[in-house]
Amino acid sequence: MPVTPSLPPDPDRLHPIDRRAGVVFLRPLLAAHPPAEGAGPTEVGAYSYYHDFEDPTRFFSRNVRYHFPFSPERLVIGKFCALAHGTTFVMASAAHTMAGPSTYPFPIMGGAWAEAMPLADVPFPNKGDTVIGNDVWLGYESLILPGVTVGDGAVVAARAVVHDSVPPYAVVAGNPSRVIRFRFEPAIVSRLLDLAWWTWPANRVIAAIPTLVDGDLDALERLAP
């Protein structure tokens, strides 16, 4: 009998690993918990996953903080990202104004305070979107602060506090985080970004897996569509 070829994981299946409920693909999780149910504008690419030792299905309510339905800033997570237990995003709507002597958010409390200064008149700072590139690994209990961009192929170490944008294929660690090294030389990083393997058709990704995991760049370029 002919052998039926195996298929890649379904990017819209919530739990991609059999008997492993601690891992969820984030795109179907977002579809099950749309922004109208408590999150601001959010985009997630295929195959990006979150692992949690307790309940990964609470990611968008527990790990994405201060991201309200009315928030203008977006959370964007690319394809093939790996988010370890406790990865947390603090979004730009967490900010308090520091333009004057007090940082207290008087108008939010309503009543006479709101009448004294309408909420719309408060000069809240907004650091903008938080963007995670493709093939990014965010380590155990890493904290991503508002307005940060983490470039393609970057690695964020466990419990790092990322306050500034991270270049592609950089490794950052610490509080505040700093670049401790780059995974590859600049010329190789440029070639990898040109390849953008995460955009390839599914069959090409399957063929490239051994090379992606333990191969060289020349071999990967030969596999490109």
Residues annotated as part of the active site? 96
Helix (H) or strand (E) holding 218: helix 217-223
Those residues with Cβ within 8 angstroms of residue 24's Cβ, 6 or more apart along the chain or in another chain: 14, 15, 16, 49, 50, 56, 57, 59
Closest to 162 (Cα-Cα) out of 174, 151, 154:
174
Measured CA to CA, the distance from residue 40 to residue 75 in angstroms comes to 8
Show contacts of 113-120: CB within 8 Å, 24+ apart: none
Q: Is 88 strand, coil or helix?
A: strand
